[in-house]
A and B are shown apart, each in its own frame.
Chain A
Amino acid sequence: MARGLLQLWLTMAKLTRDDVLKLAELARLDLNEAEIEQFAAELSEILQYVEQLQGVDTKGLEPTHQVTGLTNVTRADEVRDYGYKPEDLLKNVPHVKDNQIKVKRMLG
């Protein structure tokens, strides 16, 4: 899409009910009717606010993903004993079987 067209589309961006449902599906959220209506309005308003970035000239600039300048932080590939037992680390798991996490069936 040409940049101008994209911008035009963005400034008109208003989330529809279908958009909200699609996002909710991607995010694995079940929204009720009131939430769908509320988020459609609120997200549209927030997105309209952040659209002020669309016209900003960023020619020649790369995105910033981190600010420390650190690169390739590694350590020796060796087992370290932090003193945790598997059962300690599993104590918050809802369903455990034989020290493994048990989940519901994946296919309907």
Chain B
Amino acid sequence: MSQWLPIADIAAKVQAGELKAADLVERSLKTIADKQDYEAIIVTTEKRARERAAEIDKRTAKGDKVGRLAGVPFIAKDNFLAFGAETTAASNILKGFNAPYQATVIERLEAEGAICVAKANLDAFAHGSSTENSDFFTTKNPYDKTRVPGGSSGGSAAAVALEMAPFATGTDTGSSIRLPAAFCGVVGLKPTYGLVSRSGIVAMASSLDSPGPLARTVDDAALVLDVIAGRDDLDSTTIERDERSYTDLEFDLKGKKIGILKEYMDDSVDADVREHIQAAVKKLEAAGAEISTVSIPSMPLSLSVYYIVCPAEVSSNLSRYDGQRFGYSYPDAKDLDESYKKSRSIGFGEEAKRRIMIGTYVISSGYHDAYYKQAQTVRTKLVKEFEKAFSEVDFMVGPVSPTKPFKIGERAKHPLQMYLADLLMVGSNLVGIPAISVPAGLSDGLPVGLQIMASQKADRHLLAMAKRAEELLA
């Protein structure tokens, strides 16, 4: 039994005066303190959280309507700009950075009464699949402390699994919400690209970055999405939201066409994960879904496309860390060029440098067409193949990760092996569709996640399907 009620119930009770926001914040902070050996949290925002809780309790006492997340504590991945503590993206170069404004996601959550209590660990700048690339420390998997929680939103996923708060925010550029959700046994939603604003989030790869929720249940994730989704004047790539609420998850699985992605169930996936997913699909079939096999022939190329497009955008986005406007600045430079070089070389960690170098290579003159343009053109091939598949089925399913949570240190010394963890997830980022990780039970004591994908903008439909899967796999 979780110490947290469903988010909608918590908010209703706070609104009615049956629960105090102040008590919920203390419960959160106590759990964070009790479980600090998992190293999920970089810093708490306790002073501001307590002030906000007191304010909310005062308003509810007066009978003011606070909002749909009244008094609900949450944890923000530390690449979200938020007040109350530094925003570092788990990077040394941003140490000491105090956000002058908040991310749109944080603003929208606060406007409905949610309270940020802490900032969660991540791979620095969200570059990674394990949190081992954090410049500060590695978060431990809640199911086995010798294993990684997945990444890059590993702190957020572990925090939700450890019940530090009912939900957390994450960002998914190539797996970073879904992989840690799967490794920590929680729900993680990567929404359609553009549905959730990127304003105020430390940029990784701008054509792929998709902010979204990590939560204990699909209902909770849906409520959070409903609060944060939609057009934002501060992010010109945002799209219109559904007029219908994303919490309206009425759904009949009978007759729904579900495609098992052939390329997701081959030898690139460990046998025990494959068997686990096959068993989950059998349950969906027994409940009335029509199961078939579909193919995205270019899927095996998606990781190559990703590891050209992503570093190209990363190298461009990280060029703003020049030691002049914010972040670490080398104090003894003779001239501007030395100031740039020393500030960046001392400030950036190994993985950021690696991605800057790859990105610089693939967009440098002479190689641009062979690498970057070719990758973006193969991306078009993927878009067309996904479109065709979704003309045949309503949803596609497969594993989230080809393996179960791996040991801390196992892949850290081998970048390409680490990149392969994202194999089954980067496709949805490249084509912009929504995808979700739903817990599919344990295999030898470790969580396995079922990945469900739907067509672009079918986020509500995807959540409804995920809720049914959650019930069947519980």
B369: nearest chain-A partner, CB-CB: A6
Query: Are B344 and A29 in contact, with the CB atoms below 8 A?
Result: yes
Chain B CB within 8 A of A4 CB: no
Q: Which residues of B contact A61 (CB under 8 A)?
A: 377, 380-381, 384
Contacts A29-B341, A62-B380, A73-B236 given; indicate if A24 touches B357 (C-beta within 8 A): yes
Contacts A46-B415, A63-B379 given; indicate if A103 touches B324 (C-beta within 8 A): yes
Closest approach, in angstroms, between the C-beta of A39 and any C-beta of chain B?
A: 6
The interface size bin for chain B is: 35 or more
Query: Do most interface residues of chain B lie in helix, strand or loop, or is the interface mixed?
Result: helix
Contacts A23-B360, A30-B345, A88-B100 given; indicate if A65 touches B376 (C-beta within 8 A): yes
Query: Are A104 and B339 in contact, with the CB atoms below 8 A?
Result: yes
CB < 8 Å neighbour of A94 from B207, B329, B432: B329
Bound Cα distance A29, B359 (Å): 13
Q: Which residues of B contact A68 (CB under 8 A)?
A: 193-194, 237, 239, 432
Bound Cα distance A88, B339 (Å): 24
One digit per residue, 1 when the CB lies within 8 angstroms of any chain A CB and 0 when it does not, for chain B 256-272 equals: 00000000000000000
Q: Which residues of A contact B304 (CB under 8 A)?
A: 49-53
Closest approach, in angstroms, between the C-beta of A108 and any C-beta of chain B?
A: 5
Which of chain B's residues 342-384 have a Cβ closer than 8 Å to chain A?
A: 342, 344-345, 348, 353-354, 356-358, 360-361, 364, 370-371, 373-381, 383-384
Which one of A54, A63, A88 has the highest number of Cβ atoms from chain B below 10 Å of its Cβ? A63
Contacts A27-B315, A30-B341 given; indicate if A107 touches B357 (C-beta within 8 A): no
Contacts A39-B354, A39-B357, A54-B374 given; indicate if A92 touches B340 (C-beta within 8 A): no
Bound Cα distance A95, B207 (Å): 32
Q: Which residues of A contact B298 (CB under 8 A)?
A: 56
CB < 8 Å neighbour of A28 from B233, B322, B361, B377: B322
CB < 8 Å neighbour of B333 from A75, A82, A104: A104
Q: Which residues of B contact A82 (CB under 8 A)?
A: 101
